[in-house]
Structure 1
């Protein structure tokens, strides 16, 4: 899996790293049980500070995407709690939809966009 961050983005590097890993999981590029590079390896691979990688891994662990194993390091281990996931999605989506409404994005455009993005993950 290729991890890329945009050093010119306003989005924090640890958030970009988190999002890249989550996208990799959603697109089946990395799967349950796969080990991520060590903090040091990931920092070298992406060209960012080890503390930045550590922060991303810590949050991914808190959110139930990885577990930390003494021997294997960070391992993809999805903590499937659908109700909690839906609640978090609702919080994030509320702001995104408010931004869209301010720009006159229609309900139909939102539905089409969601369908297009969801289709990228090959899920039903």
Structure 2
């Protein structure tokens, strides 16, 4: 894989979700392009020092979400035909995921402008 994956084994976020998120970030940043191959479940599990079921769970989730294709001959590849657009369901999940972060930011005294500035900075870093 042409990106370095770093996982936080002390995080409350499950490893398979971290792996999913890192792969999507690689796609969003252009480090992973449509058609690029990914390591096999076994190889990535070995490289990361995690259980094969963990990698398989992340790959299956990414396949369901339209980011990966899994073929017997070709292996695991970034979906060659592009990615699903932002649906109403995605936007609802986005709001649900952001709500606790916005709430905590308000509690900690961040202004709307400061919060949006952090979001914009991350957006630009990934793009």
Counterparts of 1:11 and 1:59 in 2: how far apart (Å)? Answer: 15
**1:79 corresponds to which of 74, 79, 83:** 83
> Structure 2: which 5+ residue stretches go unaligned?
none
**2:40 corresponds to which of 38, 41, 49:** 38
Aligned runs of 1:37-116 on 2, under 5 Å?
37-77=39-79, 78-83=82-87, 84-116=89-121
Aligned pairs, number = 122
Question: Normalising by the residue count of structure 2, what TM-score does the alignment of the two structures yield?
Answer: 0.86
Runs of 4+ residues deviating >3 angstroms: none
> Structure 1: which 5+ residue stretches go unaligned?
none
Does 2:125 align with 1:117? no
Counterparts of 1:88 and 1:66 in 2: how far apart (Å)? Answer: 20
Residue 91 of structure 1 and its aligned partner are, at CA, apart by 2.2
Counterparts of 2:17 and 2:75 in 1: how far apart (Å)? Answer: 20
Counterparts of 1:20 and 1:96 in 2: how far apart (Å)? Answer: 19
Residue 97 of structure 1 and its aligned partner are, at CA, apart by 1.1
SS in 2 for 1:82: coil
Question: Normalising by the residue count of structure 1, what TM-score does the alignment of the two structures yield?
Answer: 0.88
Residue 6 of structure 1 and its aligned partner are, at CA, apart by 1.8
